[in-house]
Amino acid sequence: MAKADLHIHTTASDGRMSPDEVVRQAVRLNLSVIAITDHDTIAGISAARNKASIYDLHVLPGVEITTSFGDRECHLLAYLFDMDDELLNILLQKHQSVRIRRAHQIIEKLQKKGLELDIDEVLAEADTSTVGRPHIAEILHKRGYVRSVREAFIRYLSDKALGTIHTDYCSFSGAVDIIQDAGGVAVLAHPGRMYSLKELEQLTDKGIDGIEVMHPSHNDEIRSRMEKFALEHCLLASGGSDFHGSKKSSYSHFGSLTISEKQVEEIKACAQRRKKIVA
Protein backbone atom coordinates (compact mmCIF):
# COMPACT_ATOMS: atom_id res chain seq x y z
CA MET A 1 0.00 0.00 0.00
CA ALA A 2 1.31 3.41 -1.00
CA LYS A 3 2.00 5.70 1.92
CA ALA A 4 2.07 9.49 2.03
CA ASP A 5 3.45 12.03 4.50
CA LEU A 6 2.14 15.55 3.93
CA HIS A 7 3.86 17.39 6.79
CA ILE A 8 7.65 17.62 6.64
CA HIS A 9 10.15 20.37 7.51
CA THR A 10 13.62 20.85 6.04
CA THR A 11 16.57 23.20 6.53
CA ALA A 12 14.57 25.78 4.55
CA SER A 13 12.89 26.46 7.92
CA ASP A 14 13.59 24.72 11.23
CA GLY A 15 14.21 21.16 10.06
CA ARG A 16 17.64 19.58 10.37
CA MET A 17 17.74 17.70 7.08
CA SER A 18 18.17 19.35 3.71
CA PRO A 19 15.44 18.78 1.10
CA ASP A 20 17.82 16.29 -0.61
CA GLU A 21 18.32 14.33 2.58
CA VAL A 22 14.59 14.29 3.31
CA VAL A 23 13.92 12.85 -0.15
CA ARG A 24 16.58 10.15 0.25
CA GLN A 25 15.16 9.22 3.66
CA ALA A 26 11.59 9.17 2.30
CA VAL A 27 12.71 6.75 -0.43
CA ARG A 28 14.41 4.52 2.17
CA LEU A 29 11.20 4.53 4.20
CA ASN A 30 9.15 3.47 1.16
CA LEU A 31 6.97 6.55 1.03
CA SER A 32 5.38 7.23 -2.34
CA VAL A 33 4.18 10.82 -1.81
CA ILE A 34 5.53 13.55 0.43
CA ALA A 35 4.87 17.26 0.83
CA ILE A 36 7.57 19.63 2.04
CA THR A 37 5.77 22.03 4.37
CA ASP A 38 8.33 24.45 5.74
CA HIS A 39 7.27 27.37 7.91
CA ASP A 40 6.37 30.35 5.69
CA THR A 41 8.65 29.37 2.82
CA ILE A 42 8.57 27.29 -0.34
CA ALA A 43 12.33 27.55 -0.83
CA GLY A 44 12.98 23.83 -0.24
CA ILE A 45 10.50 22.44 -2.73
CA SER A 46 12.39 22.71 -6.03
CA ALA A 47 15.48 20.96 -4.66
CA ALA A 48 13.30 18.18 -3.23
CA ARG A 49 11.46 17.78 -6.53
CA ASN A 50 14.68 17.64 -8.52
CA LYS A 51 16.07 14.98 -6.23
CA ALA A 52 12.81 12.99 -6.24
CA SER A 53 12.66 12.91 -10.03
CA ILE A 54 15.24 10.11 -10.07
CA TYR A 55 13.11 7.99 -7.74
CA ASP A 56 9.52 6.82 -7.70
CA LEU A 57 8.60 9.53 -5.21
CA HIS A 58 6.21 12.43 -5.73
CA VAL A 59 6.82 15.71 -3.97
CA LEU A 60 3.75 17.93 -3.67
CA PRO A 61 4.15 21.68 -3.24
CA GLY A 62 3.37 22.56 0.36
CA VAL A 63 3.91 25.21 3.01
CA GLU A 64 2.91 25.70 6.67
CA ILE A 65 1.77 29.29 6.98
CA THR A 66 1.70 31.01 10.38
CA THR A 67 -1.50 33.00 10.62
CA SER A 68 -3.13 35.11 13.27
CA PHE A 69 -6.41 34.00 14.77
CA GLY A 70 -7.53 36.45 17.46
CA ASP A 71 -4.47 36.88 19.64
CA ARG A 72 -3.09 33.45 18.76
CA GLU A 73 -0.84 32.03 16.08
CA CYS A 74 -2.50 29.35 14.03
CA HIS A 75 -0.69 27.04 11.59
CA LEU A 76 -2.33 26.56 8.23
CA LEU A 77 -1.01 24.05 5.68
CA ALA A 78 -1.33 24.68 1.96
CA TYR A 79 -0.91 22.15 -0.84
CA LEU A 80 -0.80 22.06 -4.62
CA PHE A 81 -0.88 25.84 -5.11
CA ASP A 82 0.73 27.62 -8.04
CA MET A 83 4.27 28.20 -6.77
CA ASP A 84 4.56 31.36 -8.88
CA ASP A 85 1.38 32.92 -7.52
CA GLU A 86 2.17 36.57 -6.83
CA LEU A 87 -0.01 37.16 -3.76
CA LEU A 88 1.08 33.95 -2.08
CA ASN A 89 4.73 34.86 -2.63
CA ILE A 90 4.13 38.37 -1.27
CA LEU A 91 2.51 36.85 1.84
CA LEU A 92 5.47 34.49 2.41
CA GLN A 93 7.96 37.31 1.87
CA LYS A 94 6.11 39.48 4.37
CA HIS A 95 6.12 36.67 6.91
CA GLN A 96 9.92 36.43 6.67
CA SER A 97 10.11 40.05 7.88
CA VAL A 98 7.43 39.49 10.51
CA ARG A 99 9.47 36.58 11.87
CA ILE A 100 12.64 38.68 12.09
CA ARG A 101 10.77 41.40 14.01
CA ARG A 102 9.27 38.70 16.25
CA ALA A 103 12.75 37.26 16.92
CA HIS A 104 13.88 40.78 17.98
CA GLN A 105 10.98 40.98 20.45
CA ILE A 106 11.70 37.52 21.86
CA ILE A 107 15.40 38.33 22.31
CA GLU A 108 14.52 41.56 24.12
CA LYS A 109 12.27 39.64 26.49
CA LEU A 110 15.01 37.09 27.19
CA GLN A 111 17.59 39.83 27.71
CA LYS A 112 15.28 41.39 30.31
CA LYS A 113 15.34 38.03 32.10
CA GLY A 114 19.12 38.36 32.26
CA LEU A 115 20.06 36.02 29.40
CA GLU A 116 22.92 37.14 27.21
CA LEU A 117 22.18 36.56 23.55
CA ASP A 118 21.75 38.82 20.59
CA ILE A 119 19.75 38.92 17.42
CA ASP A 120 22.76 38.62 15.10
CA GLU A 121 23.64 35.30 16.68
CA VAL A 122 20.11 34.01 16.14
CA LEU A 123 19.96 35.24 12.55
CA ALA A 124 23.34 33.61 11.88
CA GLU A 125 22.00 30.35 13.35
CA ALA A 126 19.00 30.52 11.02
CA ASP A 127 21.21 31.57 8.10
CA THR A 128 19.02 31.49 4.98
CA SER A 129 16.24 29.51 6.70
CA THR A 130 12.99 30.92 8.00
CA VAL A 131 13.91 32.11 11.49
CA GLY A 132 11.90 30.63 14.36
CA ARG A 133 11.98 29.81 18.05
CA PRO A 134 13.96 26.59 17.47
CA HIS A 135 16.92 28.74 16.33
CA ILE A 136 16.71 30.78 19.53
CA ALA A 137 16.44 27.54 21.52
CA GLU A 138 19.60 26.30 19.83
CA ILE A 139 21.51 29.42 20.93
CA LEU A 140 20.21 29.09 24.50
CA HIS A 141 21.48 25.51 24.44
CA LYS A 142 24.87 26.47 22.97
CA ARG A 143 25.27 29.13 25.67
CA GLY A 144 24.53 26.59 28.37
CA TYR A 145 21.37 28.23 29.65
CA VAL A 146 19.43 25.00 29.06
CA ARG A 147 20.34 21.33 28.65
CA SER A 148 18.12 20.78 25.60
CA VAL A 149 15.98 22.54 23.02
CA ARG A 150 12.98 21.02 24.77
CA GLU A 151 13.99 22.65 28.04
CA ALA A 152 14.45 25.98 26.22
CA PHE A 153 10.84 25.78 25.07
CA ILE A 154 9.52 24.83 28.49
CA ARG A 155 11.45 27.51 30.41
CA TYR A 156 11.66 30.37 27.96
CA LEU A 157 9.95 29.96 24.60
CA SER A 158 6.49 28.52 25.08
CA ASP A 159 3.63 30.94 24.42
CA LYS A 160 3.02 31.01 28.16
CA ALA A 161 6.66 31.73 29.04
CA LEU A 162 6.93 34.47 26.42
CA GLY A 163 3.69 36.31 27.11
CA THR A 164 2.30 38.67 24.51
CA ILE A 165 4.31 39.21 21.34
CA HIS A 166 2.98 41.63 18.76
CA THR A 167 3.13 40.04 15.35
CA ASP A 168 1.67 41.02 12.05
CA TYR A 169 1.00 37.66 10.45
CA CYS A 170 -1.73 37.44 7.85
CA SER A 171 -5.14 36.65 9.33
CA PHE A 172 -6.29 33.05 9.15
CA SER A 173 -9.15 33.84 6.78
CA GLY A 174 -6.93 36.03 4.58
CA ALA A 175 -4.45 33.19 4.25
CA VAL A 176 -7.19 30.68 3.38
CA ASP A 177 -8.34 33.01 0.58
CA ILE A 178 -4.81 33.54 -0.77
CA ILE A 179 -4.10 29.78 -0.81
CA GLN A 180 -7.35 29.02 -2.60
CA ASP A 181 -6.93 31.87 -5.10
CA ALA A 182 -3.52 30.35 -5.87
CA GLY A 183 -5.35 27.13 -6.77
CA GLY A 184 -4.27 25.43 -3.55
CA VAL A 185 -5.88 23.40 -0.80
CA ALA A 186 -6.02 24.81 2.77
CA VAL A 187 -5.65 22.36 5.64
CA LEU A 188 -5.70 23.25 9.35
CA ALA A 189 -2.52 21.92 10.99
CA HIS A 190 -2.48 19.80 14.18
CA PRO A 191 -5.96 20.86 15.36
CA GLY A 192 -6.28 18.20 18.04
CA ARG A 193 -4.85 19.83 21.12
CA MET A 194 -4.91 23.44 19.99
CA TYR A 195 -8.56 24.39 19.71
CA SER A 196 -11.86 24.00 21.48
CA LEU A 197 -14.75 22.60 19.47
CA LYS A 198 -16.15 26.14 19.18
CA GLU A 199 -12.83 27.42 17.79
CA LEU A 200 -12.66 24.49 15.38
CA GLU A 201 -16.11 25.42 14.09
CA GLN A 202 -15.01 29.06 13.72
CA LEU A 203 -11.89 28.07 11.77
CA THR A 204 -13.92 25.72 9.59
CA ASP A 205 -16.30 28.57 8.81
CA LYS A 206 -13.38 30.49 7.26
CA GLY A 207 -13.59 28.04 4.37
CA ILE A 208 -10.76 25.55 4.95
CA ASP A 209 -10.74 22.43 2.80
CA GLY A 210 -9.42 19.97 5.34
CA ILE A 211 -7.85 19.27 8.71
CA GLU A 212 -4.98 17.13 9.85
CA VAL A 213 -6.25 13.93 11.35
CA MET A 214 -2.88 12.19 11.49
CA HIS A 215 -0.29 14.10 13.54
CA PRO A 216 2.18 13.06 16.25
CA SER A 217 0.39 15.27 18.79
CA HIS A 218 -2.86 13.31 18.25
CA ASN A 219 -3.49 10.20 20.30
CA ASP A 220 -6.04 7.59 19.15
CA GLU A 221 -8.91 9.39 20.86
CA ILE A 222 -8.08 12.75 19.22
CA ARG A 223 -7.55 11.06 15.88
CA SER A 224 -11.05 9.52 15.98
CA ARG A 225 -12.54 12.83 17.09
CA MET A 226 -10.82 14.69 14.21
CA GLU A 227 -11.89 12.01 11.74
CA LYS A 228 -15.49 12.39 12.87
CA PHE A 229 -15.25 16.21 12.73
CA ALA A 230 -13.88 16.02 9.16
CA LEU A 231 -16.66 13.68 8.05
CA GLU A 232 -19.40 15.78 9.62
CA HIS A 233 -18.07 19.01 8.10
CA CYS A 234 -17.21 17.61 4.65
CA LEU A 235 -13.51 18.29 5.20
CA LEU A 236 -10.57 16.41 3.74
CA ALA A 237 -8.63 14.31 6.24
CA SER A 238 -4.89 14.87 5.89
CA GLY A 239 -1.78 14.43 7.98
CA GLY A 240 1.84 13.57 8.35
CA SER A 241 4.76 13.21 10.72
CA ASP A 242 5.66 16.93 11.18
CA PHE A 243 9.20 15.64 10.78
CA HIS A 244 11.91 18.12 11.78
CA GLY A 245 14.79 15.98 10.79
CA SER A 246 16.44 14.55 13.83
CA LYS A 247 16.93 10.80 13.58
CA LYS A 248 17.64 10.70 17.29
CA SER A 249 14.46 12.49 18.26
CA SER A 250 11.79 10.40 19.88
CA TYR A 251 9.38 12.71 18.09
CA SER A 252 10.34 11.25 14.74
CA HIS A 253 7.39 9.51 13.13
CA PHE A 254 8.81 9.83 9.64
CA GLY A 255 7.76 6.76 7.66
CA SER A 256 5.27 5.53 10.22
CA LEU A 257 2.76 8.38 10.56
CA THR A 258 1.18 8.43 7.14
CA ILE A 259 -2.03 8.84 5.19
CA SER A 260 -3.29 6.70 2.32
CA GLU A 261 -3.01 7.24 -1.42
CA LYS A 262 -6.81 7.57 -1.54
CA GLN A 263 -6.64 10.53 0.86
CA VAL A 264 -3.96 12.14 -1.34
CA GLU A 265 -6.14 11.60 -4.40
CA GLU A 266 -9.00 13.43 -2.66
CA ILE A 267 -6.69 16.37 -1.90
CA LYS A 268 -5.55 16.42 -5.54
CA ALA A 269 -9.15 16.31 -6.77
CA CYS A 270 -9.96 19.32 -4.56
CA ALA A 271 -7.02 21.25 -6.09
CA GLN A 272 -8.14 20.31 -9.59
CA ARG A 273 -11.69 21.53 -9.00
CA ARG A 274 -10.28 24.75 -7.57
CA LYS A 275 -8.00 25.37 -10.54
CA LYS A 276 -10.96 25.08 -12.89
CA ILE A 277 -12.87 27.64 -10.82
CA VAL A 278 -9.88 30.04 -10.50
CA ALA A 279 -9.12 29.76 -14.24
- Burial track 259-275 (b if 16+ CB lie within 10 A, e otherwise): beeebbebbeebbeebe
With binding defined as CB under 5 A, does residue 64 bind Zn ion?
no
* DSSP assignment of the chain: --EEEEEE--TTTT-SS-HHHHHHHHHHTT-SEEEE--BT--TTHHHHHHHHTTTT-EEEEEEEEEEEETTEEEEEEEES--TT-HHHHHHHHHHHHHHHHHHHHHHHHHHHTT----HHHHHHHHTTSPP-HHHHHHHHHHTTS-SSHHHHIIIIISHHHH------PPBHHHHHHHHHHTT-EEEE-S-TTT--HHHHHHHHHTT--EEEEE-TT--HHHHHHHHHHHHHTT-EEEE---B-S-SS-TT--TTTS-EEHHHHHHHHHHHHHHHHHH-
Convert residues 8-37 into a mask of x (bound to ligand AMP by CB under 6 A) and - (unbound): ------x-----------------------
With binding defined as CB under 6 A, does residue 215 bind ligand AMP?
no
With binding defined as CB under 5 A, does residue 40 bind Zn ion?
no
CB of 270 to ligand AMP, least distance (A): 25
What is the total count of residues that contact Zn ion (CB under 5 A)? 1
User: Which one of 133, 190, 218, 274 is in contact with ligand AMP (CB under 6 A)?
Assistant: 133
CB of 272 to ligand AMP, least distance (A): 30
With binding defined as CB under 6 A, does residue 38 bind ligand AMP?
no
| Interface of this chain with Fe ion, residues 226 to 265, rule: CB under 5 A | 242
With binding defined as CB under 5 A, does residue 14 bind Zn ion?
yes
Mode of pairing for the β-strands spanning 33-36 and 3-8:
parallel
For ligand AMP, which is the closer residue by CB, 130 or 180?
130
User: Which one of 7, 39, 215, 274 is in contact with ligand AMP (CB under 6 A)?
Assistant: 39
With binding defined as CB under 6 A, does residue 193 bind ligand AMP?
no
With binding defined as CB under 6 A, does residue 126 bind ligand AMP?
no
For Zn ion, which is the closer residue by CB, 45 or 235?
45
CB of 132 to Zn ion, least distance (A): 6
Q: Looking at 16-24, 145-153, 175-183, 218-226, which segment touches ligand AMP (CB under 6 A)?
A: 145-153
For Fe ion, which is the closer residue by CB, 106 or 117?
106
For ligand AMP, which is the closer residue by CB, 3 or 39?
39
Kindly give the interhelix angle for 261-278 and 172-181, rounded to the nearest 10 degrees: 80
Binding site for Zn ion (CB under 5 A): 14
Binding site for ligand AMP (CB under 6 A): 14, 39, 132-134, 149-150, 153, 244
